Amino acid sequence: MDSKNKGKVAIVGSGLIGKSWAMLFVGAGYRVVLYDVVKKLVSEALIDIAQRLQALEKSGMLRGKESAEQQSKLVTGSDDLEECLRDVIYVQECVPESLEMKTVLFKDLDRLADVRTILASSSSAIPSSKFTESLTHRERCIIAHPVNPPYYMPLVELVPSPWTSPDVVERTRSLMTDLGQSPVTLKKEVRGFIQPRIQYAMIMECLKLVEDEVLDVDDVDKLIKDGLGLVFAFLGPFEMNHINNEGGIRSFFALEGEEVDAVASSLGPPVSMKATTDLIKKISDRMTEAVPVECLAERRKWRDDRLAALARLRNTLQHS
């Protein structure tokens, strides 16, 4: 499809997440208007996006068929919200995780954007029902929560509120697929959305293993990154157990169900964060010894290089 026909989207908020969304959209050929309240922030963000796209082109990781230069030209900036929202099919809100800020902003978005425009929030924990209930066209509001860094992490959690229209859910899901992302649709709002729920269920067991002196802190991380984590780069837990058993996942539950029950019921209640200062100190002391706070940015770069390489590998394998 010609990028002229793909339509225009608005990104509200020029921080890291806003810039990441902009890069995803232009990679798929959409025109983007990036908004922030301060003009200087917008112009700095545009320069940063252009530089990031150039770097991606150099490393062979640029998405889409157009050059970095051409993609950069698809992004313009604005510090005028009304102007920014003109003729856009979709708005991606990327302001800080504050209920007050989101409430004020969504009132403006609802008032200024065309009624057919989807209003999506990048919120990572606040459900949209908390800041869209009183809006005139609340049925076009949804959460589209990305995972950091979105350029290499395809997952997007779509969380409708009770009043989000099914059509808005479907259009947002199609749009995310068109970006090359991997949308997952929650059929209702749940606390922590979904990814944190699964992560915290794991973390709870990891904390208990250290607290009960079963494992050292370092061994917890090795257990995942040198074991299960390698499989999870390609398969979810259901398919993993499906293909591990001769008769599929049905056999897994039939043969291992009793063991699953026994292990699950031995997991015990979750560790409370309030009651575990010694445990938290033990873990953070060890983690800080391994990667001191002043080296975290470097280690994040190390991680992102690996996620980029894995994204490239998965892409190659998919087309081989």
Among 47, 55, 99, 290, binds its own copies (CB under 8 A): 290
Residue 305, beta-bridge partner list: none
- Residue number, 89 or 223, with CB nearest to its own copies: 223
Ordered DSSP codes for the chain: --GGGS-EEEEE--SHHHHHHHHHHHHTT-EEEEE-SSHHHHHHHHHHHHHHHHHHHHTT---SSS-HHHHHHTEEEES-HHHHTTTEEEEEE---S-HHHHHHHHHHHHHHS-TTSEEEE--SSS-THHHHTT-TTGGGEEEEEE-SSTTT--EEEEEE-TT--HHHHHHHHHHHHHTT-EEEE-SS--TTTTHHHHHHHHHHHHHHHHHTTSS-HHHHHHHIIIIIHHHHTT--HHHHHHHHSTT-HHHHHHHHHHHHHHHHHTS-SPPPGGG-HHHHHHHHHHHHHHS-GGGHHHHHHHHHHHHHHHHHHHHHHHT-
What is the closest distance, in whole angstroms, from the C-beta atom of residue 193 to its own copies in the complex? 9
- Residue number, 3 or 241, with CB nearest to its own copies: 241
Is 319 one of the binding residues for its own copies (CB under 8 A)?
no
Is 61 one of the binding residues for its own copies (CB under 8 A)?
no
Q: Given the rule CB under 8 A, which of 58-66, 84-92, 115-123, 260-268 is the region that contacts its own copies? A: 260-268
What is the closest distance, in whole angstroms, from the C-beta atom of residue 320 to its own copies in the complex? 9
Is 209 one of the binding residues for its own copies (CB under 8 A)?
yes
- Residue number, 50 or 186, with CB nearest to its own copies: 186
- Residue number, 82 or 253, with CB nearest to its own copies: 253
The encoded tokens of residue 72 equal 């950069």
- Residue number, 136 or 277, with CB nearest to its own copies: 277
Q: Given the rule CB under 8 A, which of 6-14, 99-107, 130-138, 189-197 is the region that contacts its own copies? A: 189-197
Is 98 one of the binding residues for its own copies (CB under 8 A)?
no
- Residues within window 225-254 making contact with its own copies, judged by CB under 8 A: 225-239, 241-244, 246-250, 253
Is 287 one of the binding residues for its own copies (CB under 8 A)?
yes
Is 90 one of the binding residues for its own copies (CB under 8 A)?
no
- Residues within window 15-44 making contact with its own copies, judged by CB under 8 A: none
Residue count at the site for its own copies (CB under 8 A)?
104
Is 99 one of the binding residues for its own copies (CB under 8 A)?
no
Contacting residues for 80 by C-beta, under 8 A, at least 6 apart: 35
Whole-Å CA distances, 139 to 110, 135, 173, 227: 11, 9, 15, 43
What is the closest distance, in whole angstroms, from the C-beta atom of residue 265 to its own copies in the complex? 6
Distance, in Å, from the CA atom of 14 to the CA atom of 17, rounded to the nearest integer, reads 8
- Residues within window 299-318 making contact with its own copies, judged by CB under 8 A: 299-300, 303, 305-307, 309-311, 313, 317
- Residue number, 21 or 35, with CB nearest to its own copies: 21
Is 278 one of the binding residues for its own copies (CB under 8 A)?
no
- Residues within window 136-175 making contact with its own copies, judged by CB under 8 A: 147-148, 152-155, 157
- Residue number, 47 or 190, with CB nearest to its own copies: 190
What is the closest distance, in whole angstroms, from the C-beta atom of residue 88 to its own copies in the complex? 27
Residue 158, beta-bridge partner list: 144, 185
